[in-house]
Structure 1
Amino acid sequence: MALRHLAIDIGASSGRAIVGELDETGRLRLTEVHRFENGLVQRGGHLCWDIDALWESVLDGLAAAHERGLTPATVGVDTWGVDFVLLDGSDRRLGEAVGYRDARTQGVREELERTGVLPFSEHYARTGIQYQPFNTAYQLWALKREHPEQLAAARTFLMVPDYLNFLLCGEKANEYTNASTTALVGATSRDWDRELLGRLDLPADIFLPVSMPGCALGHLRPEVARRVGFDAEVVLPATHDTGSAFLAVPARDDRAAFLSSGTWSLLGTELAAPVTSPSSAAANFTNEGGYQARYRYLKNIMGLWMIQCVRRESARPDGSLPTWGELVSAASDAHEQGFRSTVDAEDERFLSPDSMVGEVCAACAEAGQPVPGTTGEVACTVYDSLAADYARTVRQMQEFTGTTFTSVNVVGGGSANAYLNQATANACGLPVYAGPTEGTALGNLIVQMIHAGELADLVSARAAIARSFDIKEVLPHE
């Protein structure tokens, strides 16, 4: 009888518990057993994650798998990157888990540049991590200014999935793919950059040895096992959701561009060595850690966050929201009627605006372009802007890596968006291979299956994905 495995996959807006197993034909079967909402809440003047609610949702996911008769042998957790918690000497949380969309890091890069503490050119050369205003390094600097007592009392630093793993099994670990997003891990050493920690006046002893995905942490705590009704082994997947998503790409060759399309769009490729040149830094590419110590060379682009906001702002008089399919159809209709406007999807103005629709319209007006007047025209602008950004990013990657890409391979929820897939193929001039939609959970599960000996390696895992799911080919036609 095949083993079952459980992926707890938590994104910025929702989370899922998905059971995976290999059937007798070697195909992967997925069963979603639980889904829950996630989001930022205002606490103490900051945008924070409700970690306690997330933990309860994790437990509910484990219990749901058991109740469905799909009891897993192993469990793996993945989440977004950069955000963290601090624990004191009694393993109690210090303060809130402030989220990356909070404004506390505004001006930190400029302060570090101005004071000479850490010019970004050196920061990038050391870590290979792109500038984002919410980089963990900047968050810790902001915390040190606002709540130095928390850092003084801290004994352990854990990223969000590290903390959930600790609650599950009682073992603490800093997993590599997520640790790399902190901009505190050396690009080539794959370990905490102690000199960098010193420059930022951060307590080095709170950072644990970096652990690689694929290792087992231990079994569920007895109290957790009693709560959910079974015991299981906790295995580290690539705990950063993009790291897991990249694993699920059934690439046809080694010149494939990978696109994880969700709240964020993460477009890149896999490399054996980091690219930390000044030109790469200027273009804001990042070298995040990947499975088997490879590198995810990619760029973070605003992604479907923009359309998620547009949808929330497009409520009908009865309070209902348009479906995703309705937004795609409306964008397609606007395109067919000749509407053409684009914005810079990487502009920080779209990170957390009061109104995304208003910000998109303002950006179009400032650029002298047609201003969207309908929801369909706003959606068309967002999708076309993302596609244009993807094309620009592929061209830059080709320049910096010397690789001529043969395709764009899309995984995640955005892979089901027919309009965006076609716009991407047209803008890039490359075929788009769309699917599977559950890329992150799949990547999480295949690491567990490799650990369990059911899949030999990543090559065989990607082959299993290719034969298990419908991958749509979209050819450029404009």
Structure 2
Amino acid sequence: MKYYLAIDIGASSGRHILGHIRDGKMQLEEIYRFHNGMSEKDGELCWDYESLFTEIKAGMKKCSELNKIPVSVGIDTWAVDFVLLDKENKVLGNTVGYRDGRTKGMDQKVYECISEVDLYRRTGIQKQIFNSIYQLMAVKENHPEYLEKAETMLMVPDYFHYLLSGIKKTEYTNATTTGLVSPDTKNWDYDLINQLGYPRQIFREIKEAGSVIGGLTEEIQKEVGYNCEVILPATHDTGSAVLAVPSNEEDTLYISSGTWSLMGIERIEADCSSNSREHNLTNEGGYEYRFRYLKNIMGLWMIQSMKKEIKEDYSFGEICEMASKETIESIVDCNNDCFLAPKSMSEEVQKYCLNTNQVVPKTVAETAAVIYNSLAKCYQATIEEIEELTGRTYGKIHVIGGGANAEYLNQITARDTKRTVLAGPVEATAIGNLMVQMIQKKELENLESARNCVYESFEIKKFDA
């Protein structure tokens, strides 16, 4: 039996999931889980990549202990964050995360070099102040010595793949989130990079998802107890999740629901038009050079943050159930920057309601209800935008990822959008990661057959409009 290892690292946790095919269905086994999060260092919000890599190796070693040795491994993480390495391959500066405030005002610095309109026309990537293009400008403005010393820029999963294999490559789906890749050439836009004054040589070769980059280094082999191939999945976790949408229909609308809600469709060609830019939709790269035409919505980050603040040890399911019994009608703009990294999410929601002359939520249940109902309203508005831009209609929504378990949110999404909601699979990101590895190793024939396999293998819940 062939085992494949997906290492899926999100903003709050990571896990190692072994996958294999049995009787035509994909089987999953979570063998290791670990914590992740940002903490303050020198006044900046940072990730602890050293600790994360220790956890990566510990989970891989677990395969040896279980005597389930994978033929390949692939890592996916969140997007936009990166490391700069010097000529000795040491990380330059702090490993700053995307929620840090260092990018404030950096959009205007970028627009001194290229207009916002021209930037979208060239890259098709929606403006988000934490995009890599603005983070790099923050480095250039505040720590130009890092760029002077830098030999390599690697996105987070590419950095971990390098630590495993000793080989530096940049995977396509995540590279596109930098705002520095051309949707036409599928490569770095070096003219844009030159305009911005970023050192050209730090940008490594871009490889397509499914590329084999090598085996484990001898040092890593000794630590984990085996060798296997390192295969690039869609290293952007949303890129992997969208692969697991259990549908081969042309007009498939999805929400990759987790810390963020990524709502959109797949396209063969990018839409870099002014109309698309004005609606703030993005054209992120996907598997086989498809495009994930979607909008980033704040997502369950708001619920996750609120949960950390309350004294009671409620589960997410309990919070969902409590919210379903409330009648409060207040709505907040989920995409407002005030919800990106507030000191208190509950207080920020209350403040927003107060400032907009709405009923202020007073309890955990009321606050959760406001958040869930606001997400559903945001989904409704986004569908209308996508239908306007594509000239198509979408009768159902596939909800994948952890949010597929949020039954109340799925119910009100169906109600407010007047569309059928199909929820599942929950482990979409890990499944998509495994799909790419299995296709590369000929265990699955192609993307179409892989999606059929997902449909047959995992529970899909239906919520009627």
**Normalising to structure 2: TM-score of the pair?**
0.99
Partner of 2:73: 75
Partner of 2:463: 474
Mapped to 2, the partners of 1:188 and 1:342 lie a distance apart of 39
Partner of 1:144: 140
Counterpart residue identity of residue 119, structure 1: S
Provide the aligned length of Structure 1 versus Structure 2.
465
Mapped to 1, the partners of 2:134 and 2:199 lie a distance apart of 15
Partner of 1:378: 367
Determine if contact 1:255/1:407 at 8 Å carries over to the other structure.
Answer: no
Mapped to 2, the partners of 1:129 and 1:249 lie a distance apart of 22
Determine if contact 1:273/1:294 at 8 Å carries over to the other structure.
Answer: yes
SS of corresponding position for 2:325: helix
Counterpart residue identity of residue 163, structure 1: Y
Counterpart residue identity of residue 291, structure 1: Y
Determine if contact 2:248/2:451 at 8 Å carries over to the other structure.
Answer: no
Counterpart residue identity of residue 74, structure 1: S
SS of corresponding position for 1:98: coil
Partner of 1:157: 153
Mapped to 2, the partners of 1:111 and 1:95 lie a distance apart of 21
CA offsets 1:98-127 (integer angstroms, 9 cap, x no match): 1000000001113333xx312111111110
Partner of 1:439: 428
CA offsets 1:259-307 (integer angstroms, 9 cap, x no match): 1101011011100000111121111111000000000000111000000
Mapped to 1, the partners of 2:218 and 2:68 lie a distance apart of 20
1:233 equivalenced with 2:232 (yes/no): no
Q: Structure 1: which 5+ runs fail to align?
A: none
Q: Structure 2: which 5+ runs fail to align?
A: none
Which of the numbers 302, 305, 309 marks the counterpart of 2:298? 302
Mapped to 1, the partners of 2:362 and 2:377 lie a distance apart of 21
Mapped to 1, the partners of 2:451 and 2:403 lie a distance apart of 20
CA offsets 1:315-359 (integer angstroms, 9 cap, x no match): 13xxxx21111101110111xxx2211111011110001110011
Partner of 1:124: 120
Determine if contact 1:66/1:72 at 8 Å carries over to the other structure.
Answer: no
Determine if contact 1:271/1:296 at 8 Å carries over to the other structure.
Answer: yes
SS of corresponding position for 1:73: strand
Counterpart residue identity of residue 324, structure 1: F
Partner of 2:25: 27
Partner of 1:461: 450
SS of corresponding position for 1:97: coil
Partner of 1:260: 256
Mapped to 2, the partners of 1:364 and 1:257 lie a distance apart of 31
1:17 equivalenced with 2:9 (yes/no): no
Determine if contact 1:169/1:218 at 8 Å carries over to the other structure.
Answer: yes
Deviation at 1:252, TM superposition (A): 5.4
Partner of 2:316: 324
Determine if contact 2:248/2:448 at 8 Å carries over to the other structure.
Answer: no
Aligned residues: percent identity? 47
Determine if contact 2:372/2:409 at 8 Å carries over to the other structure.
Answer: yes
Q: CA RMSD in A?
A: 0.9
Partner of 2:289: 293
4+ residue runs over 3 A deviation: none
Which of the numbers 97, 106, 109 marks the counterpart of 1:108? 106
Deviation at 1:42, TM superposition (A): 1.1
Mapped to 1, the partners of 2:220 and 2:274 lie a distance apart of 48
Counterpart residue identity of residue 462, structure 2: E
Determine if contact 1:8/1:76 at 8 Å carries over to the other structure.
Answer: yes
